[in-house]
């Protein structure tokens, strides 16, 4: 009998990419970062969908066991959300970084969009 892999998701960073220092754990075989880009109208569901799109082709998570699917990642993301985060996801509410951003600080043409980064680990 094979042991079911546990997936842990944690918040890494939100903001412009110039200011993110990265996370060395993302290069380990059992960890990787997933990226979403957000603007003034980005919902929590939009971010989750982008993270799943980032996971599917591999990227940082290309060394994950093949049996881990995008749906497994989605479930782990939702599991790490607070009750408010889950409500935001299901109700189509704005994502947390969008709610908290001072949009006057960002490029009005959104040529450089801020990113929302999570770390995914297989335990």
Say how far apart CA 70 and CA 37 lie, in whole Å.
18
Residue 51's Cβ-count burial label (10 Å; 0-12, 13-18, 19+) is buried
Q: To the nearest whole number, what is the mean pLDDT of the chain?
A: 85
pLDDT at 22: 64
pLDDT digits (tens, 9 = 90+) for 11-63: 988 988 776 666 566 666 678 889 999 999 999 999 999 999 888 866 667 77
The residue among 106 and 35 whose pLDDT is bigger is 35
Contact between 44 and 85 under an 8 Å Cβ cutoff? The reply is: yes
Q: What is the pTM of this model?
A: 0.86
């Amino acid at each position: 009998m094979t042991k079911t892999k546990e997936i842990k998701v944690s918040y890494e960073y939100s903001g412009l990419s110039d200011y993110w220092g990265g996370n060395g754990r993302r290069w380990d075989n059992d960890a990787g970062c997933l990226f979403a880009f957000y603007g003034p109208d980005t919902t929590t569901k939009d971010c989750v969908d982008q993270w799943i799109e980032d996971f599917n082709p591999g990227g940082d998570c290309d060394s994950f066991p093949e049996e881990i699917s995008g749906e497994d990642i989605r479930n782990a993301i939702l599991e790490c959300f607070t009750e408010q985060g889950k409500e935001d996801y299901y109700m189509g509410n704005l994502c947390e970084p969008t709610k908290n951003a001072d949009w006057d600080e960002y490029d009005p043409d959104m040529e450089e969009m801020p990113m929302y980064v999570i770390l995914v680990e297989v335990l």
